[in-house]
Amino acid sequence: MSPHVWRGSLLAVVAAISLTTMNVFVKLIGTNIPVYELIWCRFFVGLILLFPVLFFSRDFRFKLKNPLKFLLRTISALLGSALLFMAVQRTSLAQALLLANTTPLIVPILAFLMVHAKTTKFGVFGILLGFVGVGVVLNPTHSTIGLGALLALASAFFVALAILQIRLIGKTMGTLPMLFYYFLMSTVITTPFGLIKMVIPHSSKILLFLLLIGVIGFIYQLCSTLSYKLAPVRLTTPILYLNVLLGSLFEWALWGQKPTLSFWIGCLIIIIGVLITLFFGHPNAVPTIKGDPHD
């Protein structure tokens, strides 16, 4: 394994840990702070942290090709992030993270609908198997499907849409410009909501949690983007499922909740379905891109 792949894999591990930890703080805050304010804090703090990196970079340029298309990509990714936060507030952390990670199953479907990209029979089988796993996780015969689970699946849909939009824009955009305009546009879009209906944190603990969401969200975005650049998506995507295990551990340690057997069976089926889709689906159906917008 080349040094680039090793570094990419390590960054994917850090990204998985960061994504899980960020959502732990979202769940700890609960509904005390509106989701749009959580999102604004995430991207505003991230934008501030990004400025020193841009200052010392010799390669960064402010020029943006296809600004309208990139804006549409940002809106899709922003919706994905907001829906994931809403899901984490309403359902178990592990379930929200698992269902939000079904993005690789949705990308080929959208690719077929939007650009008529074909998927092999093995790829179709992997997609169907993955959604069987989703059904096992939701377990509708024993309980109703909650709003949180539906929000997590909706998050996966919008992240998949953002991934496909980046593929259509092209892979010529550098990592730093992509991060800069993603954070900038996300901050600008969410600022009006924050100004109109901002909720002032009632404690220093909540304020600290908001700051940590921004800092850890920045680490996640940077690491996930670089990991996809250095290592193949077929390697980094399975590593990101580490956040499901971490989410389960956090949930057990902080809230005393243990995932059910059906959850773990469904989780295993989803991961197998994703692996089959990534390894045996047509490459046009699962684009290899620079970065993951989840977000």
pLDDT at 187 over 70: yes
Q: What integer pLDDT is reported at residue 195 of this predicted model?
A: 75
Q: What are phi and psi of 143, to 5 degrees?
A: -160, 160
Q: Domain extents for the chain?
A: 3-117+146-252
Q: Give the pLDDT score at 288.
A: 42
pLDDT for 290? 41
pLDDT tier at 154 (50, 70, 90 boundaries)? very high
- Condensed to tens digits (0 to 9), the pLDDT of residues 219-267 reads 999 998 888 788 777 778 788 889 999 999 999 999 988 888 889 999 9
What is the pLDDT of the chain when averaged over all its residues? 86
Phi-psi region of 129 (alpha: psi -120 to 50; beta: other; left: phi over 0): alpha
Say what the pLDDT of residue 140 is.
62
pLDDT in tens, 262-282: 899 999 999 999 888 888 875
Neighbours of 274 (CB within 10 A): 26
* Reported confidence tier of residue 113, pLDDT bands at 50, 70, 90: confident
Per-residue model confidence as pLDDT tens digits over 50-65 = 998 888 877 777 777 7
Summarize pLDDT for 31-51 with one digit per residue, the tens.
889 999 999 999 999 999 999
Amino acid identity, position 94: A
Q: Using a pLDDT cut of 70, give the percent of the chain over it.
A: 91
pTM of the model: 0.88
Nearest-angstrom CA–CA distance, 66 and 177: 13
